[in-house]
Structure 1
Amino acid sequence: MSGKLENSSSKNLSLGVIFLTIFIDLVGFSVIFPLFPSMLDYYFEVDGQSGLLGWLLEQLNQVSQLADGSERFTPVLFGGVLGSLYAALQFFFAPFWGAMSDRKGRRSILVYTSLGTCLSYVLWMFAGNFALLIIARLIGGAMSGNLSVATAAVADVTTKENRSKGMGMIGAAFGLGFVTGPAIGGACAHFVNPVELWPELARFGINPFSFVAFVAVILSLGNFIWIRARFAESLPPEKRGQQRVIMNPVKRLKQPQITPVRRTNFAYFVYILAFAGMEFTLSFLGVERFGYTPLDITKMMVFVGFILILVQGGIVRRIAPKVGEKKTASTGLLLVAVALAILSMASSEGILYLGLGFMALGAGLCSPTLTSLISLYVSEQEQGKALGVFRSLGSLGRAIGPLSASFVFWWFGSDKLYLIGSLIVLFAAYLSMRLPQPDKTS
């Protein structure tokens, strides 16, 4: 009896550590979002037209000219490039870390990657030039591929019947991270500018965003220490796979997959491709139609994040085990499609928030249950590898979606962009309806 209680306590503790790991990864991904315009101005002043930044701005200005004949599109593209860079690194490394954890265990990979994440923030803290900032983002993106490891660890410590509850917890961490990250970034950058307070530190690479990076360092260091101290290995040696780890992400995607996994991956990629683009352009939609200020945009993001946390942290954990992951995922995708159609024609703030509510509700239902389906379709020895490919495709969608959506937004308008997004997500819903029911008895 005491052994069972001890095992249950260990699993609950591991879930808590996983929650914190994912939360901090998402804070790191999103903390930079409100800083893009200020970062462009700062590094342009520091680096001028020379070096990596000068070359990048020259390319972005040319693209802006194609978009609308002016350079006002350049800051949007700059933010899109930095965000896509981070997601692209996740695309490359999520399957790698996932497959490595199938062979070496979850704990050791989480320890290495959490320490690497901390290092990336230290580099950002001393990024006195644009090239060092890019190096910091490259390391951070590569290390954040450990989301696939954390997801696999949830699969390790949950039963097939409770898998969606665990994945719902991951979704709640995602939502909380996306709300907290921009809030931390905006608040820290607004209230504390180390260069103004201590100008002499600029020669060491300290920049106006160093305090934001410092806060991220403290969070990630705490995460590393907690994983080292409290995370119990969730994949014992007898359950580990021995397959060779493939470094090439394209080859990994081309590896044979059972039909349900391949179909679920495709449905998820189609959904994320559209959703990430709509999510990225929401702030521009608010500015264009309602003249939103940064504070208004923050309120909008907090509203979406709060619903995501509520749905993924509570509602989906109760609904999915009763009605099934497939039906819950399909319902969520249909709600997102309806939401984007509403947003395409939103002429008042009331309609805007109605669409945002449906979008958050739908996303909260479909994301964790699609993840659960992948986990339920594969064996214990393939959890990290399969979920790594799944997360990798999501990262690829987050790399392509924002840039693609930005072009459509500026060329054709927000109404057409969100209508197209609605049709794409509707196709993803159709794909999800054709998925088989997972076997929870074996």
Structure 2
Amino acid sequence: MPPCTAVNREEEINRPSRDVPPDARLRRNPPGARVAAMQEPKLEKPTTETQGLRSGAVLLIVFTTVVVDFIGFSILIPVLPEYASRLGANAFEVSAIIAIYALVQLLFLPAWGWASDHFGRRPVILISLAGTIASFALLIVANDLATIYLSRILGGFFAASIGACQAVVTDITPPSERADGMGKIGAALGVAFVLGPAVGGLLADLGTKVPFYGISGVAILNLVLAYWLLPETKPPGDGPTSPREFAASLIPTPIRAITMVHDRRVGFYLYLWFHIYIAFAAVEATFPLYVFRRFEATTFDVGLLFAWIGIFIALTQGVLVGRLARFMSEGAMVVVGLAVTAAGLVAISWAPSMQAMFWVGPILAFGNGISFPSFTSLYSQTCEARDAGEMLGQGNAMGITGRIVGALCAGYVMDAYGLATPFILSGIVMLAGSILFAAAYRLLVPAQPPPRA
């Protein structure tokens, strides 16, 4: 049989048929159909190279989105001592600024995860960025503790992008490359940990609210870039769901985790999200107060120290995790990383000077940098792509619960039992998390091929 060329097709189309009436032939091949068919462009399949470029662009937008969102949280870290002294707040009240943000985030993050699964990642991320800008604007006009709390409530409500961004990574990366993708998310958090406290600490000397103006401008720019460049990555799924499913997503994750029947592995992961963040909340909530009161550090000193720690976190998560994955399993990185983080937390209480803190910082950065992205990657492998947003939202919500409890406990313990006590207790809790993960290793880590040499 000869190949079907354009001429063959034309002859076939125009060839009369004895069995088909002329009007039927006309209906089957209306005037102009042959020309349109011949002129229709051929769609080329995207090459691996173009797919890689698109994925890289999407990951870049996701990276900057996470940076801006977390900066909105971390920018307050170095200026909290100033708020405490100016408004007469004690350590517990300062910790409550972090806790109230985390509480509102906890209540609504699962609903945003549900929305990202059913309406798309893109609209959720865009709405989140717009709301974050509004929370920064309110922070600019805040002149009392109540208004600061209100701005943090608004910021917590719109802090939905982290779960949606993790779901985007799950959408566009195969399981074999997911650890590296989650490492980029972790690197974004590390960059935010550099920029937020650094901007807050280094620019606070120009005025308390100068950092808030700067981050508002960056957030607006990121919203514009995301609007034009961020595609929808959600896999095709079901249509609109019932109001009952949306109402169920409003139930706080800790309650759902208790009342719903989970796979044992998922349930254990959700508890570990809670456990790990309880331990690390002491750094977020009370570390600036600790160095401010014990070493009489300035806001500039605090910003510089956090920038130093953040640089090591970003390098570890953005570069080292991918290379370690060739020689260590993700489960091993979680166990080792949590143990190293525990050592760093205890070392905070032993450091004799502010200069010594610059040696403790890289220990915390390395432990945090190899454990958190590996832990998130392993958890994401328990999620199906269509449910990734909600499942990752649940995990983040459990971590936020730990942040609330840990921040309030750290503030109370510092007021009641001494400056260094929160870090000693946090180190113990973090080490217990490493031991728990190692004890449940076979349950939490599916059988995998050995790492590539």
Partner Cα separation in structure 2 for residue 188 and residue 343 of structure 1: 26
**Range with bigger deviation, 427-436 or 408-417:** 408-417
> What's 1:325 paired with?
330
> What's 2:24 paired with?
none
> What's 2:256 paired with?
252
How far off its partner does 1:261 sit? 1.8
> What's 2:231 paired with?
232
> What's 1:6 paired with?
50
Number of aligned residues: 396
How far off its partner does 1:417 sit? 3.3
Give the SS at the match of 1:401.
helix
> What's 2:195 paired with?
180
Partner Cα separation in structure 2 for residue 80 and residue 41 of structure 1: 14
Question: Does residue 307 in structure 1 map to residue 348 in structure 2?
Answer: no
One-letter amino acid of the counterpart of residue 157, structure 2: A
Structure number with higher helix proportion: 1
Question: Does residue 111 in structure 1 map to residue 132 in structure 2?
Answer: no
> What's 1:66 paired with?
none
One-letter amino acid of the counterpart of residue 159, structure 1: P
Report the CA distance shift for 1:183/1:350 in structure 2 as closer, same or farther (over 3 A): closer
The answer on whether the counterparts of 1:283 and 1:297 sit within 8 Å (CA) in structure 2 is yes
Report the CA distance shift for 1:96/1:418 in structure 2 as closer, same or farther (over 3 A): same
Report the CA distance shift for 1:315/1:242 in structure 2 as closer, same or farther (over 3 A): farther
1:135 is aligned, of 128, 150, 172, to: 150
The answer on whether the counterparts of 2:122 and 2:232 sit within 8 Å (CA) in structure 1 is yes
Give the SS at the match of 1:257.
coil
> What's 2:437 paired with?
432
Partner Cα separation in structure 2 for residue 190 and residue 125 of structure 1: 16
Question: Does residue 336 in structure 1 map to residue 341 in structure 2?
Answer: yes
How do residues 364-375 of structure 1 correspond to structure 2 at under 5 angstroms?
364-375=369-380
Report the CA distance shift for 1:39/1:292 in structure 2 as closer, same or farther (over 3 A): closer
> What's 2:391 paired with?
386
How do residues 59-98 of structure 1 correspond to structure 2 at under 5 angstroms?
74-98=89-113
The answer on whether the counterparts of 1:28 and 1:216 sit within 8 Å (CA) in structure 2 is yes
> What's 1:19 paired with?
63
Structural RMSD (CA): 2.5
One-letter amino acid of the counterpart of residue 396, structure 1: T
How far off its partner does 1:175 sit? 1.4
Structure 1: any 5+ residue segments left out of the alignment?
A: 45-71, 193-207
Partner Cα separation in structure 1 for residue 76 and residue 101 of structure 2: 11
Question: Does residue 356 in structure 1 map to residue 356 in structure 2?
Answer: no
> What's 1:149 paired with?
164
The answer on whether the counterparts of 1:31 and 1:185 sit within 8 Å (CA) in structure 2 is yes
The share of aligned pairs that are identical, in percent, is 27
**Range with bigger deviation, 251-260 or 285-294:** 285-294
One-letter amino acid of the counterpart of residue 90, structure 1: Q
Partner Cα separation in structure 2 for residue 239 and residue 369 of structure 1: 30
2:185 is aligned, of 155, 170, 195, to: 170
Structure 2: any 5+ residue segments left out of the alignment?
A: 1-44
Partner Cα separation in structure 2 for residue 384 and residue 419 of structure 1: 35
> What's 2:33 paired with?
none
Partner Cα separation in structure 2 for residue 333 and residue 240 of structure 1: 41
